[in-house]
Every structure is written in structure tokens, then in C-alpha cells.
Amino acid sequence: MSGQRFLVTGGAGFIGSNFVHHLVARTDATVTVLDKFTYAGNAASLDGLPADRVTTVRGDICDTALVDALVRDADVVVHYAAESHNDNSLRDPAPFVATNLGGTFALLEAVRRHDRRYHHISTDEVYGDLALDDPARFTERTPYRPSSPYSSTKAGSDLLVRAWVRSFGVRATISNCSNNYGPRQHVEKFIPRQITNVLCGERPRLYGDGRNVRDWIHADDHSSAVLRIIEAGRIGETYLIGADGERDNRSVLEMILTTMGESVDAYDRVPDRAGHDLRYAIDGSKLTRELGWRPEHGDFARGLRATIDWYRENERWWRPQKAATEAQYRERELQP
């Protein structure tokens, strides 16, 4: 791995920027970030990184000429860029199809032409959902059954990768991770939305009855798992990444409220998300067994406290996004 040149797409987003910080801290790699800086990209998420090791290119992963040139000059391509929010995909699926499918296609064609190592970042949502009382968890063999425009375009992108491995011998691995939390997550997402609502004096919002379960993992653990797969994963394989973090939404919201010194019921229930997946749960034993990876941030209460502190201390990072995000949510709440 020494001296490798990484191309990280979506490196100005929540998880991509976490990976860039991780890579710079743990390896001697040089990194080129390719990011379109949509509403979800934030240059401040890359602050503090050394200029002689990290270069940022503003551009679209659907731009085949740009992608070709950047892939040619890299040894390893790690593909995070995506339209990532389910609620947005219900309002307007078009950018999800363009970026998640078209952008992945452009990258795969370039790594095929230049024979580069490729790692594809995906989600547990490709497997659909589980019943609340089902003891089962997702494994690498679970059939694909995505529910939303977001998850179906991610599922399609995974299938493109699998086909390019089998048909063209592309040297790729795929990881499907559960719900991430931590610093620098956009305020549209559940945990930062509720934290910043409290900080703004607004009541948090819970969809439906709040019994839906998500399997939480700290973004730092996601990054260490991805690096481990790039270092030692078997080409053509899929690895699920999780940290045994199943919690229902109501419990997470109540933890946020009590940690922030608010009354446990100081929130509003709002209409449920259309097609809302009930429960996600990852069996990550393949990654542990084959590659010896383990999460280091398994204490959710501690990680949540640190995340709350981060949003308290970094209002300058999230404040510019807050009003527009809440305006969109207000429209959603008013829909019949």
C-alpha cells in the first residue's frame, strides 16, 4: 500500500471526508477528491488536511472525460459519491438515477480501461427491510430487495460492479454498510437533524410511531473497515460492515433529548416516510472472520455525546444548511 495514489469520489460528503481524514492519518497515500459539491458537499469537511497530500477537483462523476483522466492517474479508486438521502429520492428520483447509476457506470468503464483497483461503497438498504420481530440479519447472501428510489439505484450500482468483475475482470470489491453517525453529517439526516433542531430551539421530528430500527455504526469504524478491505479483501467479494448497533428511532431520539438536557417527550410526531423500511440489521461476521476487522467505537452513548458536542462546537459548519433543509421538510409535512 505504500505511496499509493487514491481517487476518492464524494470526498467532501459525510463519510467520504471521514475516509480522507482516516487515510491521511493512517497511511502515506496521496489523495485526489472528486466531488461535484452538491448541496451535500462541504469544503470545510476537508479543512486541516495537508495540501501536499490532498487535492480537490470540483466535478461530476458522470463527466466521462474528467473521470477517465483522474482514474488514469490513480492506483486505487474508492467510490463514495452518491445522492444519499431517501426523503429526497421520494421527492425527485432523477438525480439518483443519474449519479448513482450513470456515475458508477462512468467510473467502472474508466477503471476497466486503465485496470485500476476499485472499491465500491454501498448500503445495507439494498437488502430491503426485516420484520421487527425477525431474529434474522442481513448477510452477503441475502437477496436484493430495495424499497426506495435511493436504495434501488444503489442496488443497481452494486449489480453493475458485479457484472464488470465477472465480464471484464475489473479488480473490484464492494462493501454494504449500515447507518453511519458522527461529525460532519448533513443536517437532513436523522441524528444531526434532531441535535440541531434542539440547538435552534425547534422541536425534533419523529416519523410515524418511531419503532423503525436502524443499525448504527460510527463513521470512523466505517472508514477503518473500508481501508482494511482495500488492503486485504478478496477481489470480486462483497463485505457487509456493521457494529451490532440496532436501536429504534424513538430510543435514539430520547437519548439525544436527555443527553441535551431536554425532557424525554419534547418532540413532535410527523407523517411517516412513504414505503418506510422497518428494520435493518447487519451480520458482519465475514469481515471479522476473513479480515480480522473489529469496530472501535461500539459505545453508542459515548459516540452520540461526542457527536452532540461536535454540533454544539461547529455551528459555523452546519448553520448555512439548516434553514433550507427545514424549509424542505416543512413542505413534506404539509403534503396530504
User: Which of 109, 125, 158, 277 is the catalytic position?
Assistant: 125
* Residue number with the smallest Cβ distance to ligand NAD: 13
Query: SS3 for 228?
Result: helix
Q: Is position 118 annotated as part of the catalytic site?
A: no
Q: How far is the CB of 215 from ligand NAD (least distance, A)?
A: 10
Contacted by 86, from ligand NAD, ligand DAU, none: CB < 5 to 8 Å by type: ligand DAU
Q: Is position 140 annotated as part of the catalytic site?
A: no
d(CA 98, CA 64): 13
* Residue number with the smallest Cβ distance to ligand DAU: 123
- Beta-carbon count within 10 A of 113 CB: 12
**Residues forming beta bridges with residue 57, ordered by sequence position:** 34
C-alpha 256: how far from chain center: 21
Q: 213, 104, 186, 94: which is closest to 149 by C-alpha? A: 94
C-alpha 208: how far from chain center: 23
Contacted by 10, from ligand DAU, ligand NAD, none: CB < 5 to 8 Å by type: ligand NAD
Q: Is position 267 annotated as part of the catalytic site?
A: no
205 scored as a contact of ligand DAU (CB under 6 A) = yes
Q: Which of 37, 207, 310, 317 binds ligand DAU (CB under 6 A)?
A: 207
Please check whether residue 33 is in contact with residue 46, taking contact to mean a CB–CB distance below 8 angstroms. Answer: yes
d(CA 335, CA 66): 40
Which residue's C-alpha cell is 487514491?
A: 6
User: Which of 109, 124, 254, 277 is the catalytic position?
Assistant: 124
Angle at 321 between CA 198 and CA 319, to 5 degrees: 55
Q: How far is the CB of 11 from ligand NAD (least distance, A)?
A: 7
User: Which of 80, 118, 150, 181 is the catalytic position?
Assistant: 150
Q: Which stretch binds ligand NAD (CB under 6 A): 29-37, 64-72, 130-138, 273-281?
A: 29-37
Show which residues are catalytic.
124-125, 150
> Interface residues with ligand NAD (CB under 6 A)?
9-10, 12-16, 34-38, 40-41, 60-62, 80-84, 99, 103, 121, 123, 154, 177, 179-180, 186
